[in-house]
Amino acid sequence: MNEELEGERGAWLRCYRCWSQRLEAQVHYDAILRVDPETGEAAERVEEVQEAVVQCLDCMHDQPHLTIEEGRVVAVEDRWERMVAGKPFVASCTVTVDQDLVESCSGPEAADALTYAAFGDSGTREFFTHVRFHKHDDERIIIHLLVELYARHEEEAVEVLEQAARGVLEITSLAEESRPPAHAPGEAH
Ligand SMILES: [Zn+2]
């Protein structure tokens, strides 16, 4: 991270929805430990996987523009400015993907699988997505979705959707919504 960004921590170290600075990090560790055949002790660390989610204590939303590196919260460079300075946009759209991209299209996993097929990680971690329905067309699946995402202007919202789409994207409508009220203005210091 560059120094300029460090100096402006207050700009991004806040909830992107309500601008609150009351944040909490949920960190999950997964460790694989080697078992000693003599003593049964599981101590030697073979591998460790860390997953962190930063959450706002005021509006309870996850903060996909923040992540944790070496015990410190850092901004996701290509995302934070757009999300913190942006406004919510709601798009009604379809993404047509190869059916091989969809792991399951029925049952309790369907919504997540269709969202991931349509927009990958951005769909499941950043956007708020609602899969309305899907249709099969030969080898392809047409996924109809409502998506809420943050962007500074309409062109950027379209760009973000296009970059995230894993198939052919068609936007039927795109509307700017108003930002949820800022959390207790003036409380930042
Ligand atoms: Zn918040």
Which domains are delineated in the chain?
A: 3-83 (no CATH), 86-176 (3.30.70)
132 C-alpha to center of ligand 1: Å? Answer: 27
pLDDT one-digit tens code per residue, 34-55: 999 999 998 888 887 788 899 9
pLDDT one-digit tens code per residue, 73-131: 999 998 999 999 999 999 999 999 999 999 999 999 999 999 999 999 999 999 999 99
Question: How does the average pLDDT of the chain come out, rounded?
Answer: 91
11 C-alpha to center of ligand 1: Å? Answer: 14
Round to whole Å and give the CA distance between 93 and 97. 13
CA distances from 51 to 30, 120, 121, 145, 172 (A): 8, 18, 14, 28, 35
Round to whole Å and give the CA distance between 75 and 64. 9
90 C-alpha to center of ligand 1: Å? Answer: 19
* Type of residue found at 15: C
64 C-alpha to center of ligand 1: Å? Answer: 12
